[in-house]
Amino acid sequence: MATADKAPAPWRDLLKSHMDQTPGYEFTIATVGFDENQRPIPRARTCGCRGFFPEVKLHPKSQEDMEQQVKDGGNPDTYESDMLCFTTDIRMEKLDQLETSGHAVEAVFWLKDVMTQWRVKGKAFAIGDPRGEDVEREKDARKELHAFLRVKKNYDGSIGDWTWDRATTKYFANHSPLARGSFKFPSPGLPRSQDPKDPALQMGQRVTDLHDPVARGNFRVVVIRPEEVERLDLSDQEDMRRWKWTRSSSDAEKDQSGWIETEKNSSEKSTWANVTLLLLKQDKPTGSTSDTMPVDTSASDNESDKIHLDQSRKDVDQAVARVQGILGTPSTSRSTPTRSSARIAALQRDVSTSTEDPTSSDTLSATQIT
């Protein structure tokens, strides 16, 4: 059930600000498909982001169409949410891919004007079937999304005046007549030399009727219900920073918005990678061959390379102390720490990962090295 007391997600306003600073922003939508042998394969495409559902600002001509063709000119300004959305054609493969993968989706923005990458992982649901809740899929999608709508603080009207049909009609109106007409084009992927079976499907059509049965039958709004959001700030190449938020079901962990911040400051990864390299180079255990598994430290030769060996000695010493605390190693024995081969192997794997991708979201955590 939609609520009025839940706070916006802590990342929402900043993402919106970044999008507002980027004209014509698009994002990459990744889904999971299956090949002819039913093996999962990644599928990605670029889509136009339509902002946070159900808020969409219309062009004056589109608003005029709404006022002329839709009761009350559309919905009252009842809801807001943290859910991003885009529009699509039901004949596209992405909708079937969502259905067969448990609605799994990831959206990626690269907003160059602010030198920031945003990743939004979660589940996506398509709405807009003109038959409404008589269709089980439409009914289920609305139910999944409704719980994450938030009544606006200043709204004092009846929430019963808001309808799903008018919400999706507004997104259809947000397209130009020619773009609306694309939902009456022949099926995507049909060879141009082959005539469509339905004569109503032709190229180059313009649609002014917001309730055109053919176009609206193919039109859908896909709404992403986020579960994890990550921001990577590359505006300062010498101090790249990362934040990650995860939706939590634990009342003890989450804030009023229902989110917990699980990672902050990507430079910490560099420090931990440096410490791992330092400890492995100083550690000379004897025994099994796994104890002396070689570690590639070539990345440390270049100060501008992937793991940033320009950390100050003080930062490294502090991180060393943290590692020693986790491993139970006395501070005076840093030069000859002893650990089991399993721990060494785990550290070596983590170093290998960190040197392969300097912007990976993986960090060396206590759970990884104990």
Would you state the structure tokens that stand for residue 302, as one six-digit string?
């270049």
CATH 2.30.110.10 range(s) for the chain read: 12-264
Would you state the structure tokens that stand for residue 341, as one six-digit string?
């081969």
What mean pLDDT do residues 304-315 have? 45
pLDDT of 189 higher than 70: yes
Q: Which has the higher per-residue pLDDT, 191 or 182?
A: 182
Domain 12-264 is of which CATH architecture?
A: Roll (2.30)
| CB of 146 closer than 8 Å to CB of 50 | no
Least confident of 90-99, 160-169, 238-247, 266-275: 266-275
SS3 169: helix
CA gap 302, 171 in Å, rounded: 51
Instruction: Report the predicted TM-score, pTM, of the whole model to 2 decimal places.
Output: 0.70
HEC-encoded secondary structure of the chain? CCECCCCCCCCHHHHHHHHHCCCCCEEEEEEEEECCCCCEEEEEEEEECCCECCCCCCCHHHHHHHHHHCHHHCCCCCEECCCEEEEEECCCHHHHHHHHCCCEEEEEEEEHHHCEEEEEEEEEEEECCCCHHHCHHHHHHHHHHHCCCEECCCCCCCHHHCCHHHHHHHHHHCCCHHHHHHHHCCCCCCCCCCCCCCCCCCCCCCCCCCCCHHHHHHEEEEEEEEEEEEEEECCCCCCCEEEEEEECCCCCCCCCCCEEEEEECCHHHHHHHHHHHHHHHHCCCCCCHHHHCCCCCHHHHCCCCCCCCCCCHHHHHHHHHHHHHHHCCCHHHCCCCCCCHHHHHHHHHHHHHHHHCCCCCCCCCHHHHC
| CB of 190 closer than 8 Å to CB of 166 | no
Tokens 């609306």: give the residue.
Answer: 180
What mean pLDDT do residues 45-70 have? 96
Query: Tell me, what's the pLDDT at 3?
Result: 59
- In this predicted model, what pLDDT tens digit does every residue of 314-332 receive, in sequence order? 555 555 555 555 445 444 4
What mean pLDDT do residues 354-368 have? 37
- In this predicted model, what pLDDT tens digit does every residue of 253-264 receive, in sequence order? 445 568 998 776
